[in-house]
Amino acid sequence: MSKYQQIKAHILEKIEGGHWAEGDAVPSENQLAQHFSVSRMTARRALQELAEQGVLSRTQGAATCVASLKNQSSMLQIRNIADEIRARDHQYRARVIELGSREASTGIARQLKIDVGDRIFYSLICHWQDDIPLQLEQRFINPALAPDYLAQDFTATTPHEYLCTVAPLTEAEHKVEAVLADDLAQQHLHIGADSACLRLHRTTWSREGIVSHALLTHPGDKYQLGGHLTFQP
């Protein structure tokens, strides 16, 4: 990591480890610069980026403090497919079709905010409910934020569960579209070329940046989206 990234990681570790609580002052730019043997500008960059992410609160002429939890990006409780299936009292299983690395295409580089041709991790997994393939998951991962991704057994845990552990989510973006089954969907979801599918495009962030971009494809006649929202007065 670069020096300013080391400073950010140090501050996040102190906050997430409970050493610095909401409202506590963090070391000043001068203190951080001295401790990490960097310029004051480098220390300022680390503090400013954490402030922009809602982790710290900075006020002119006052100490930089750990931000109120109400001001920080909230953890998104996105239920993964394994939980959904088990909640319906069905058996869940997964089949890992591909797990490896590749070069980032133009589209994926744009999604992950990296350069075209950079190495990324990729997984293709089919999630089953009983004897029915219910979701085909294509996931593109930034290796810098999940370096041990390729060593995981994704028949025992889902990528979502693993990534929430190693790079806790602070933000997510969804796009839902209706599509016809492409070749991958036809092959692994056992459906025809004229079958309608529901596809979710999901990008997730941690405090360090974009963690992954996933394409989650479901047979249109076997899956629906829904939820219950409660609005406070």
pLDDT one digit per residue (tens) for the chain, 233 residues: 688 889 988 998 888 777 888 889 999 999 999 999 999 999 999 998 888 777 888 876 778 898 865 434 333 346 678 887 887 778 999 999 999 999 999 999 999 999 999 999 999 999 999 999 999 999 999 999 999 999 999 999 999 989 988 888 777 888 888 899 999 999 999 999 999 999 989 999 888 889 999 999 999 877 665 544 444 44
Question: Looking at residue 156, what is its pLDDT?
Answer: 93
pTM, full prediction: 0.66
Question: Looking at residue 233, what is its pLDDT?
Answer: 40
Convert 192-220 to b/e letters by CB count within 10 Å (16 or more is b): eeebebbbbebbbbbbbebbbbbbbbbbb
List of domains in the chain: 3-66 (1.10.10.10), 81-219 (3.40.1410.10)
CB under 8 Å, gap of 24 or more: what pairs does 130-135 form?
A: 130/90, 130/91, 132/222, 133/188, 133/189, 133/190, 133/219, 134/81, 134/85, 134/218, 134/219, 134/222, 134/223, 135/81, 135/216, 135/217, 135/218, 135/223
Q: 40-52 vs 3-16: helix axis angle to the nearest 10?
A: 50
CA distance 87 to 52: 38
Question: Looking at residue 29, what is its pLDDT?
Answer: 92
